[in-house]
Structure 1
Amino acid sequence: MTAGVVVLWAVTVVEVVRALRGTGTRSLLVAVAALAAGRTLDLDAVGEALGRTTALAAVEHVLVVVSAVAVVAFTHRITGEHRTVPRPVWVVLALALAAPLVDAGGALPATAEDRAAAYASSVPWLVHWVAFLVTLAVALTAGARIALRNGRLARGVLGVRLIGLGAGQVLGVLYTVLKALHLGALVVSPGSEVGLLGTAEQAALSSAILLVAVGLVVGFAATVAADLATRRRLWVLWPVWADLWPHAPHLDHTPPGRLRTTFSPDARIREVRLVVEIGDALRVLSPYVPAHDHTDPVAQAAALQLASRRVGQDVPASPPSGPRPAETGFAARTRELYALALAWPRAAAVRAQIVPGAGADGDVAVPAQTRASGDGRPGAGESAP
């Protein structure tokens, strides 16, 4: 049980990080945090330290119910399904779960058999246990059905998360059934051997926690990997963006530095902005691009750098040197620009092969030209010799 609690708190930390990054959901954070807190209160060491009181047991069960309901809410959120429970149902459930608190300071026996006998002899505890087990079974069954049904249709990380949540909730239902059987066996046959039921109950609970944790951690890892890939593309695209900035229409401000762009909190929005603005600049430069090998990214980069200098020289525009590429989706366009950006630093060496006399430093007749390099403000003037 201790290992399961550790896993739950680890997942809680992950969800807190996701929430701080703006990629998490409140319902999922509540679900894992409530379950982690509830299972922590169920530990023997915690029970001995705080005392096995009625209030402690009731709070533990309430936290587990809150977790189950929050998981269902999270499943509804990511699948787009919307169902509401009438408010009177919540009121009745709250009263039923709080029934044992009429004797909040009462101590519970130390052994499972004695606790089961105490539950069976107390009407408030019977009401509490029925409400707890029924609510848990209904919530987990509903959540599992929605998660598994949509998980088969979803692709990628979302499918993994839904399948993990659904399988974990199925095992949660099994845990609920085994818990009811275990309590019933302890009450009906106090002296019988029911250790196997207790072991199966804990195994189902541990497996449910593990499956849910795996699904959530896989989703978090995929999110982190996607974020790192986005920031790498920002780092690579930045020199092209900064060099072509003066030619993008409607952009008058100096672009932010490379580090600031790469590590901005809204990296995905920054990437969209870079791709769109580089594309705008390329359309402006297209009449000035000299003939070149369109299949070679280095040659394409060199031609664009020369086109940028031609604009500064007021060279008359000419018809495009080749057919314009067909419009593509954002992902395909990003890949094309990424390949261009990787070739951008090597373009200076081949400019002379495209336009004779254009060496590594550009055309000798080009006036002061804005060029971006490294991190910081682009715009270091290059005076013509």
Structure 2
Amino acid sequence: MTKDNFSLALDLGTTTLVGRLLDDAGVVRAEDRCLNPQGAVASDIIRRLEAARAGRGAELQGLLAQGIDCLTAELLRLAGVARGRLASAALAANPGIAHLLAAEPVESLLFPPHRPAFRGGAFFPPARFRLDLPCAVYLFPLVSGYVGGDLVAFLYGQGDPAAATLYVDIGTNAELALHADGCRLVSSVAAGPAFEGGEIACGMMRTTGAVEDVRVDGDRLRLAVVGQGAPRGLCGSGLVTAVAAALAGGLMDRAGNLRAPGEVTTNLARYLMEKDGQRALRLYRDATVDLLITQEDVRAFQLAKGAVHAGVSCLLERAGVTAEALREVVVTGAFGAALGRENLKRVALLPDSVIEKVRFEADGALRGVARFLAMAGAEDQVARLAASLRPYPLSGTPAFEKAFIAALNF
């Protein structure tokens, strides 16, 4: 084998970093994920940008570079490949993460008109990002101050779109794209880290020990755990399905209020309890772990799913496209393909009228980054794709705020 046998694909999220090591045939030799170390400074991107503006930019860049280096080292270890045999690397990130990685000024993102200080869409020396890599690094282009290279990568990974297709990338920021009548309208809404297990009492990244699915089975809640061992926490899909199960089992009302045990007539009532003055749903308990979903966690989930639901509704309305006219809705995110349409409908994550058209795509942005590394002429293709996207701001608009309030209930 020669040095040019391996490439590195990275999707840098606000909460989670995901990577793949590919051989020269495009075969995945290793895949792994880790938490974004910048979370030690702040969980949300706005507070990180504010910290960078206050003088902590170098620290935030260093934390991210450290996270990328650790993830890369683990991918190489899993595949038994030396770092010097990496010949190419590409990464995608939202605008805030991209600016922090490049140590670019962040004022243009924080203040109107919210335009990126730089656009990416090129190969950079690894030292530009303080990365220990033996090859240049391609950064996917940013579209606007709120639509980043992660959405561009997701779209690129899908190839030529069918008419009237909606794309939804659900993470700490939910990014949306609608292809209709020959144009692509794109937007983003702040969902918060709940979909990636962040800021949840028992939340964790989707890795060994994470509950990824919860179902009602008679008078029991059945848990599916990554790695099939003992539960250790709840990842994003676990939270979605746990809320859906609570609704299906009558443990929660449509306004998101957990019931008191005495209000539930089935044996499922034993999963309800109170802790520190608030109601909670206990999924599992052993000598070292007590998996609780608190009322506060449910509220965080409602805010997250309400933002996604409202964003989709407003984007369709802005484009003049009815849900019935959509041919397909492609959904990706940290939860992968663990969500079913029934759960989506029960928690009202998307408008009812589009749910039957949903197709899940696990790690869609990462797939696009990997496709870029394998395709001849990919740099020009991605540039043309990014140039074809029309940004449409949603957050803070009266239409979005109205739709958001209406979307909070289940």
TM-score norm. by structure 1 comes to 0.24
**Which one has more relative contact order, counting CA pairs under 8 Å at least 6 apart?**
2
The structure carrying a bigger helix percent of its residues is: 1
Larger radius of gyration between Structure 1 and Structure 2: 1
TM-score (norm 2): 0.23
